[in-house]
Amino acid sequence: MKTQIIKIDTSTSNWDKQLDQAAEVLRSGGLVAFPTETVYGLGANALDEEAVKSIYRAKGRPSDNPLIVHIADTAAVKDLTDSIPGTAQALMDAFWPGPLTLVMPRSSLVPDIVTACLDTVAVRMPSHPIASALIKKAGVPVAAPSANSSGRPSPTLARHVIEDMMGKIDVIIDGGNAEVGVESTVLDITVDPPVILRPGGVTLEQLRHVLGNVISDQTPGISDMAGTPKSPGMKYRHYSPKATMLLIQGDPEKVAAEISKRAGLYHKEGTAVGILVTDETAGLYESSLYSYCKILSLGSRKEPKTLAANLFRCLREFDEKGVEVIMAETTDIRGIGQAVMNRLMKAAGGNIVKL
């Protein structure tokens, strides 16, 4: 299949005209990757069963992992669900458009293939102007998982989508960097109090501010590794770079010393090592490490948003450099840090050393 790449700069006039053809592709059953404020999505008409099937094929995604339905207008919610939970309105007012996905009872309009036969549907209204304009023009709800091959780190740049999806989908819209960098928060509002099934761009603290009581079933990355998760997607190994990954948690000086020691040993064995640090801790590593390891900083711990924004790009960069083992520091789990730690834990397959 020939994949067309359309580059869009939203600061130019009439940029949305460039979406007309992609909207037609969606309407006629094709696949279009597009930027959202969280990560790039791989979209199909959510009401077209065959089109949705081809999403699973392109990603190599297990069919028991349901998709999020993206809308451009809150009015579209009522077609997708039979009963809107009482908490929905306050959440939509506070966080839509934006990185919050609401799990609600589904309507019969939503095909089984979208919800993996669950009796709920996940709905989100993205704030990215390209995502919003594309969905409006298509005139249909758009089912869209992250636009990576299943298991790989989610794409935050069109180049990442090209790596994974070239030749497998119809259109890739390049709209630059996806700002938030981690996916939306998935919140189950069919239960009281609501439960966070996946931490993401909207934080637990922000949700509690609006709703009072909200439960997070995430001891980051741990609770979702055992048992039967309510959000089917959380059970899979995820966000993984090709390298083996290990998290080291503890006092920053001790972490740097431990990582340095292990890096030296790996280097002796001829293993290519990557180290994921932060601006504040980068100086704690011996300068010799910088000559033989690939060291990347996630950004500043004082600006936790930057840690989220850079995470998936850094993981892919280690792969590009042929790194075989990645050692990473852990982050504070307050605010957006909860989503960052969740993704790090998943990428590391739960591999963590506590000093």
Residues in the site for Mg ion, rule: CB under 5 A? 146
Instruction: Name which of 150 and 278 has its Cβ closer to Mg ion.
Output: 150
Separation between Cα atoms, residue 313 and residue 80, nearest integer Å: 33
Using CB under 6 A as the binding rule, whether residue 184 contacts ligand TXA is answered as yes
> Closest approach of Cβ 105 to ligand TXA, in Å?
10
Q: Which stretch binds ligand TXA (CB under 6 A): 12-20, 46-54, 228-236, 247-255?
A: 228-236
Q: Which does 198 bind (CB under 5 to 8 A by kind): Mg ion, ligand TXA, none?
A: ligand TXA
Q: Which does 179 bind (CB under 5 to 8 A by kind): Mg ion, ligand TXA, none?
A: none
Q: Which does 234 bind (CB under 5 to 8 A by kind): ligand TXA, Mg ion, none?
A: ligand TXA
Closest residue to ligand TXA using C-beta atoms? 233
Instruction: Name which of 163 and 258 has its Cβ closer to Mg ion.
Output: 163
Using CB under 6 A as the binding rule, whether residue 198 contacts ligand TXA is answered as yes
- Provide the token pair at 204: 């637990």
Q: String of b and e for 222-244 (b: at least 16 CB within 10 Å)?
A: eebeeeebbbbbbbbebbbbebe
- Provide the token pair at 218: 């995430």
**Cβ 33 vs Cβ 172: under 8 Å:** yes
Instruction: Name which of 66 and 194 has its Cβ closer to ligand TXA.
Output: 66
| 73 three-state secondary structure | coil
> Closest approach of Cβ 179 to Mg ion, in Å?
17
Contact with ligand TXA (CB under 6 A) among 155, 221, 233, 274: 233
The tally of CA atoms less than 13 A away on the side-chain side of residue 114 is: 28
Separation between Cα atoms, residue 137 and residue 80, nearest integer Å: 19
Separation between Cα atoms, residue 241 and residue 275, nearest integer Å: 13
Residue ranges in 38-57 that form contacts with ligand TXA under rule CB under 6 A: 38-39, 41
Instruction: Name which of 85 and 99 has its Cβ closer to Mg ion.
Output: 99
| Single-letter residue type at 142 | V
> Closest approach of Cβ 241 to Mg ion, in Å?
15
Contact with ligand TXA (CB under 6 A) among 46, 118, 207, 347: 118
> Closest approach of Cβ 55 to Mg ion, in Å?
11
Using CB under 6 A as the binding rule, whether residue 36 contacts ligand TXA is answered as yes
What is the 3 state secondary structure string of 34-69?
Answer: ECCCCCCEEEEECCCHHHHHHHHHHHCCCCCCCCEE
Beta bridge partners of 248: 329, 353
Using CB under 6 A as the binding rule, whether residue 144 contacts ligand TXA is answered as yes
Using CB under 6 A as the binding rule, whether residue 194 contacts ligand TXA is answered as no
Residues binding ligand TXA: number (CB under 6 A): 31
Separation between Cα atoms, residue 240 and residue 190, nearest integer Å: 30
**Cβ 2 vs Cβ 171: under 8 Å:** no
- Provide the token pair at 185: 């928060």
Using CB under 6 A as the binding rule, whether residue 231 contacts ligand TXA is answered as yes
What is the 3 state secondary structure string of 251-283?
Answer: CHHHHHHHHHHHHHHHHHHCCCEEEEECCCCHH
Instruction: Name which of 97 and 304 has its Cβ closer to ligand TXA.
Output: 97
Using CB under 6 A as the binding rule, whether residue 22 contacts ligand TXA is answered as no
Q: Which stretch binds ligand TXA (CB under 6 A): 8-16, 114-122, 317-325, 338-346?
A: 114-122
Instruction: Name which of 124 and 137 has its Cβ closer to ligand TXA.
Output: 124
Residue 223 CB contacts under 8 Å (≥ 6 apart), including other chains:
217
Using CB under 6 A as the binding rule, whether residue 152 contacts ligand TXA is answered as no
The whole-angstrom distance between residue 10's C-alpha and the CA centroid of its chain comes to 23
**Footprint on this chain of ligand TXA (rule: CB under 6 A):** 36, 38-39, 41, 65-68, 99, 101, 103, 115, 118, 120-122, 124, 126, 144-146, 183-184, 186, 197-198, 230-234
